[in-house]
């Protein structure tokens, strides 16, 4: 036993009992002990010893390849969201390691655990400037690149440290506010060995959930029970803690409107009469009305980011005060960050909601808690929003709009299908127009909005849930950021269905340029050839070239049948939809305020911008 204080191993794999293991083998065995089914990696000289250790262990952990390390992290991210089990990603040194940064940033901002193991120079070579070492400011300096985008960075200098590092990496990743961890593993450490008993994961981590303070919970119950215009604001923390059921129970008990953030989308059945869609700059009229006029908001697992809060312009999304805020979060840092609280509760979303529910049940025994007038107003506002969406759907354009495509996709796929988006108009319109019925089926990068995320994340979701339909919908720009991962899906045999809406440009941004700066201010957002003509690769043909089932449609009525054929193919399948690209039907209108600074030379717009900006209140 080399490490005092480690729990003796209780291991189903007897070979691992007090065995001589290399660093690479310690990693592989610990991942197996943690029940990690896949390690995603691109080998290079910086991780040869680690990659080799997976040989002979294929029945217990599979190595999958991806085409860019960033995508490996995205795959793990999508897998976690669909299954709540982490995967590991391993890379070589230098560029391979740095390629994980965007994946790590996405997972960090969206609080998803991913173990990122990056190879690094031999400990005795540090600072010599070996191939792919970053060493001009400090020897073997890579890990600082990832510091801001991981929950913790862990560096191993000797193989003896590795069992403890692996154990702690999982603990950090999987407790509290979850997030990615980087383990830096030098090449020599991967290959040297020790006699080791691996720590048993079961005895090594905190168990259970963090309860909220009973005094604060009682205060919250009293406030919420008395509310006349009660709103529950749902962030990503509800899905993270699998608190969807408790959320629904609390909402129904009180008769509260449920509004979600982008990260919270899909945590509440969106055909439920208490659902009030979304607030914020990309929100909905019903959500904005509910959150800006609430007397009490119970916010669970959300950060009050600028998009949710209409850049903190009072009365736009929120009016806190006078609205009283009950803010529940696993991360105390979020409480009081952007708005003052009437009750701030640090705790896990599920246990806190269950405790609030118990308190509300007591109150409900004394008197009715719901306000029928408020609920009638909610129904009216919901009907108004539905009419707005129907109007968008009725657009009479030659090519289908993204709104129409979303509707056709919703109609064609299963109720419990996973629907994956990353950024652009598809994500913004998904938020406003696409209802999710089964909790957990909305998979989107809510906080980081990373283009190129959806395809690899969908591959991860399909690995996690092979029995369910997994559909990703992306723009042409988004697609071209990670289209090479079509090879990954072909090799892994994951029949994801990818809908690419082709509008020959970064149109979400072009629309924003027009909204904020003026109709003539589009720049660098159309894809064109030197003669000014619209440019697009033949996207369906690229999918066919990767060995995918591929179809191209340019009519609304062609979308449903194409999707059905895609599912029937049993293969990874792409449906390219050529969509309408003229503003404003290229997207859908933003209904809330967002602080997009306007250049002073656009005098009139600048004046309007400043007037609105001056109303913002940063707390
Ligand atoms: C990696 C990354 N770079 C830049 C952006 C900024 N951005 C947000 S949406 C968007 C354009 C999206 O274009 P596309 O995927 O074609 O979708 P569209 O809006 O055209 O439907 C850009 C550039 C981003 N979110 N992520
Ligand atoms: Mg586009």
The answer on 159 and 11 residing in a single domain is: yes
Last residue of a domain, one of 175, 203, 231: 203
Task: With H, G, I as helix, E, B as strand and everything else as coil, classify residue 38.
Answer: strand
The DSSP code for 200 is P
CA atoms within a 13 Å half-sphere pointing along the CA-CB vector of 291: 32
**pLDDT beyond 90 at 22:** yes
Query: Tell me, what's the pLDDT at 391?
Result: 97
**In sequence order, what DSSP letters do the residues of 363-395 get, joined into one string?**
HHHHS----HHHHHHHHHHHHHHHHHHHHHHT-
Task: With H, G, I as helix, E, B as strand and everything else as coil, classify residue 472.
Answer: strand
The answer on 376 and 455 residing in a single domain is: no
What's the structural domain count of the chain?
3
The CA distance from 202 to 307, in Å, is 40
The CA distance from 537 to 612, in Å, is 41
Phi, psi of 579 (to 5 degrees): -115, 160
**pLDDT beyond 80 at 6:** no
Sheet holding 418-421, edge to edge: 442-444, 418-421, 470-475, 497-502, 573-578, 549-553
Mutate to test the pocket of ligand 1, among 73, 477, 510 (most ligand atoms within 8 A of CB): 477
Residue 389 is assigned to a structural domain of this protein? no
**Spacing, Cα 509 to ligand 1 middle (Å):** 7
Beta bridge partners of 258: 232, 275
The CA distance from 351 to 334, in Å, is 18
* pLDDT tens-place string over residues 393-416: 999 999 999 999 999 999 999 999
Six-digit token pair at 393?
Answer: 């759907």
422 CA closest ligand 1 atom index: 25
**By alpha-carbon position, which residue is closest to atom 20 of ligand 1?**
507
The answer on 342 and 429 residing in a single domain is: no
The answer on 220 and 198 residing in a single domain is: no
Q: Which residue has the higher pLDDT, 19 or 453?
A: 453
What's 483's domain CATH number?
3.40.50.970
Closest ligand, as measured to the CA of 474? 1
Q: Which of 99, 89, 188, 189 is nearest to 142 (CA)?
A: 99
Q: Please report which confidence band the pLDDT of residue 17 belongs to, taking 50, 70 and 90 as the band edges.
A: low
Helix (H) or strand (E) holding 195: strand 193-196
Residue 525 is assigned to a structural domain of this protein? yes
**Spacing, Cα 505 to ligand 1 middle (Å):** 9
Six-digit token pair at 447?
Answer: 């906080």
Residue 10 is assigned to a structural domain of this protein? yes
Query: Tell me, what's the pLDDT at 3?
Result: 34
Q: Which of 243, 275, 247 is nearest to 259 (CA)?
A: 275
* pLDDT tens-place string over residues 434-491: 999 999 999 999 999 999 999 999 999 999 999 999 999 999 999 999 999 999 999 9
**pLDDT beyond 80 at 196:** yes
% of the chain beyond a pLDDT of 90: 95
- For residues 554-578, average pLDDT: 98
Q: Please report which confidence band the pLDDT of residue 7 belongs to, taking 50, 70 and 90 as the band edges.
A: very low
* pLDDT tens-place string over residues 263-319: 999 999 999 999 999 999 999 999 999 999 999 999 999 999 999 999 999 999 999
The CA distance from 471 to 443, in Å, is 10
The answer on 304 and 232 residing in a single domain is: yes
**By alpha-carbon position, which residue is closest to atom 10 of ligand 1?**
424
For 63-99, give one letter per residue: b (16+ CB within 10 A) or e: bbebbbbbbbbbbbbbbbbbbbbbbbbbbbbbebbbb
The answer on 141 and 231 residing in a single domain is: no
The answer on 574 and 542 residing in a single domain is: yes
**Spacing, Cα 423 to ligand 1 middle (Å):** 6
- For residues 597-608, average pLDDT: 98
Q: Which residue has the tokens 């509260």?
A: 256
Domain of residue 519, residue span: 395-578
423 CA closest ligand 1 atom index: 9
**Spacing, Cα 451 to ligand 1 middle (Å):** 6
Count the neighbouring beta carbons within 10 Å of the beta carbon of residue 567.
18
Residue 69 is assigned to a structural domain of this protein? yes
**In sequence order, what DSSP letters do the residues of 413-438 get, joined into one string?**
S-TT-EEEE-SHHHHHHHHHH----S
503 CA closest ligand 1 atom index: 20
**Spacing, Cα 509 to ligand 2 middle (Å):** 9
CA atoms within a 13 Å half-sphere pointing along the CA-CB vector of 54: 21
511 CA closest ligand 1 atom index: 19
- For residues 424-433, average pLDDT: 97
The CA distance from 337 to 382, in Å, is 31
At a CB cut-off of 8 Å and minimum separation 6, what does 173 contact? Answer: 86, 113, 114, 115, 151, 179, 180, 181
% of the chain beyond a pLDDT of 70: 97
Task: With H, G, I as helix, E, B as strand and everything else as coil, classify residue 315.
Answer: coil
The answer on 267 and 157 residing in a single domain is: no
Residue 603 is assigned to a structural domain of this protein? no
Q: Please report which confidence band the pLDDT of residue 205 belongs to, taking 50, 70 and 90 as the band edges.
A: confident
The DSSP code for 505 is B
**Spacing, Cα 341 to ligand 2 middle (Å):** 40
3-class SS string, 531-561: CCCECCCCHHHHHHHCCCEEEEECCHHHHHH
Six-digit token pair at 161?
Answer: 């440290």
Residue 228 is assigned to a structural domain of this protein? yes
Looking at 188-202, 227-241, 389-403, 416-430, which range is the least confident one? 188-202
Six-digit token pair at 32?
Answer: 């197996």
**By alpha-carbon position, which residue is closest to atom 11 of ligand 1?**
506
Query: Tell me, what's the pLDDT at 4?
Result: 32
Query: Tell me, what's the pLDDT at 10?
Result: 44
Six-digit token pair at 33?
Answer: 């002990």
Residue 182 is assigned to a structural domain of this protein? yes
Torsion of CA 86, 92, 98, 100, to 10 degrees: -20
Mean pLDDT, the chain, rounded, equals 96
- Helices 424-433, 507-517: axis angle to 10 degrees equals 80
Q: Please report which confidence band the pLDDT of residue 100 belongs to, taking 50, 70 and 90 as the band edges.
A: very high
**Spacing, Cα 425 to ligand 1 middle (Å):** 8
Last residue of a domain, one of 153, 169, 203: 203
Q: Is the separation of the CB atoms in 181 and 169 below 8 Å?
A: yes
* pLDDT tens-place string over residues 357-385: 999 999 999 999 999 999 999 999 999 99
**By alpha-carbon position, which residue is closest to atom 1 of ligand 1?**
451
Q: Which of 392, 347, 363, 464 is nearest to 84 (CA)?
A: 464
For the chain, the C-alpha Rg in angstroms (whole number) is 25
Q: Is the separation of the CB atoms in 30 and 82 below 8 Å?
A: no
The answer on 249 and 163 residing in a single domain is: no
Counting beta carbons within 10 angstroms of the beta carbon of residue 167, is it exposed (0 to 12), middle (13 to 18) or buried (19 or more)?
A: buried
Predicted model pTM = 0.96
Six-digit token pair at 533?
Answer: 């003509």
The answer on 70 and 198 residing in a single domain is: yes
Q: How many residues does the chain have?
A: 619
The answer on 161 and 36 residing in a single domain is: yes
What's 322's domain CATH number?
3.40.50.1220
Residue 28 is assigned to a structural domain of this protein? yes
Q: Which of 325, 320, 296 is nearest to 310 (CA)?
A: 320
CA atoms within a 13 Å half-sphere pointing along the CA-CB vector of 16: 22
The residues lining ligand 1, judged by C-beta closer than 6 Å to any ligand atom, are 423-426, 449-451, 474-478, 501, 503, 505-509
Q: Please report which confidence band the pLDDT of residue 105 belongs to, taking 50, 70 and 90 as the band edges.
A: very high
Angstrom CA distances, 318 to 139, 289, 324, 617, stand at 49, 9, 10, 11
Query: Tell me, what's the pLDDT at 15?
Result: 45
The answer on 238 and 123 residing in a single domain is: no
The CA distance from 293 to 311, in Å, is 17
Last residue of a domain, one of 578, 594, 612: 578
């Amino acid at each position: 036993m080399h490490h005092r204080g480690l729990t003796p191993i209780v291991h189903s794999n007897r070979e691992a009992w007090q065995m001589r293991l290399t660093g690479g083998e310690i990693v592989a065995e610990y991942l197996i002990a943690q029940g990690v089914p896949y390690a995603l990696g691109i080998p290079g000289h910086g991780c040869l010893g680690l990659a080799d250790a997976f040989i002979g262990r294929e029945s217990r952990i599979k190595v999958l390849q991806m085409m860019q390390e960033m995508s490996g992290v995205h795959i793990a991210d999508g897998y976690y969201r669909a299954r709540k089990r982490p995967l590991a990603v391993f890379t070589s040194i230098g560029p391979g390691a740095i390629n994980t940064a965007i994946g790590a940033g996405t997972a960090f901002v969206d609080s998803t655990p991913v173990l990122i193991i990056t190879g690094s120079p031999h400990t005795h070579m540090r600072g010599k400037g070996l191939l792919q070492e970053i060493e001009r400011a400090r020897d073997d300096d890579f890990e600082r690149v990832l510091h801001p985008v991981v929950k913790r960075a862990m560096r191993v200098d000797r193989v003896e440290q590795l069992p403890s590092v692996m154990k702690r990496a999982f603990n950090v990743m999987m407790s509290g506010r979850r997030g990615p961890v980087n383990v830096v593993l030098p090449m020599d450490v991967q290959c040297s060995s020790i006699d080791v008993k691996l720590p048993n994961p079961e005895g090594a981590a905190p168990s259970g959930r963090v309860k909220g303070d009973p005094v604060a919970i009682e205060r919250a119950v009293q406030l919420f029970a008395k509310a006349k215009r009660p709103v529950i604001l749902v962030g990503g923390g509800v899905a993270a803690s699998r608190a969807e059921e408790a959320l629904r129970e609390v909402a129904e008990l009180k008769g509260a409107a449920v509004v979600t953030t982008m990260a919270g989308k899909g945590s509440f059945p969106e055909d439920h009469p208490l659902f009030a869609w979304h607030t914020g700059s990309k929100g909905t009229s019903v959500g904005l009305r509910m959150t800006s006029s609430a007397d009490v908001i119970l916010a669970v697992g959300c950060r009050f980011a600028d998009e949710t809060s209409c850049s903190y312009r009072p009365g736009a999304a929120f009016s806190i005060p006078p609205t009283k805020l009950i803010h529940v979060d696993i991360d105390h840092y979020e409480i009081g960050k952007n708005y003052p609280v009437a009750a701030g509760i640090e705790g896990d979303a599920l246990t806190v909601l269950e405790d609030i529910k118990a308190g509300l049940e007591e109150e409900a025994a004394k008197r009715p808690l719901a306000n029928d007038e408020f609920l009638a107003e909610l129904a009216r506002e919901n009907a108004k929003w539905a009419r707005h969406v129907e109007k968008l759907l009725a657009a009479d354009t030659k090519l289908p709009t993204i709104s129409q495509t979303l509707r056709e996709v919703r109609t064609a796929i299963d109720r419990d299908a996973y629907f994956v988006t990353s950024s652009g108009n598809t994500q913004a319109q998904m938020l406003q127009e696409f209802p999710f019925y089964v909790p957990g089926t909305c998979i989107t990068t809510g906080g980081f909005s990373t283009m190129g995320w959806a395809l690899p994340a969908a591959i991860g979701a399909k690995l996690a849930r092979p029995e369910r339909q997994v559909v990703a919908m992306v723009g042409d720009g988004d697609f071209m950021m990670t289209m090479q991962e079509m090879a990954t899906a072909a090799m892994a045999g994951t029949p994801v269905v990818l809908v690419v809406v082709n509008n020959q440009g970064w149109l979400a941004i072009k629309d924003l340029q027009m909204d904020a700066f003026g109709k003539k201010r589009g720049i660098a957002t159309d894809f064109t050839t030197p003669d000014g003509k619209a440019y697009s690769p033949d996207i369906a043909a690229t999918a066919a070239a990767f060995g995918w089932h591929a179809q191209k449609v340019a009519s609304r009525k062609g979308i449903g049948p194409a999707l059905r054929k895609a599912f029937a193919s049993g293969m990874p399948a792409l449906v390219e939809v050529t969509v309408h690209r003229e503003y404003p039907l290229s997207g859908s209108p933003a209904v809330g305020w967002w602080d997009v600074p306007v250049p002073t030379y656009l005098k009139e717009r600048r004046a309007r911008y400043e007037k609105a900006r001056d109303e913002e209140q940063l707390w």
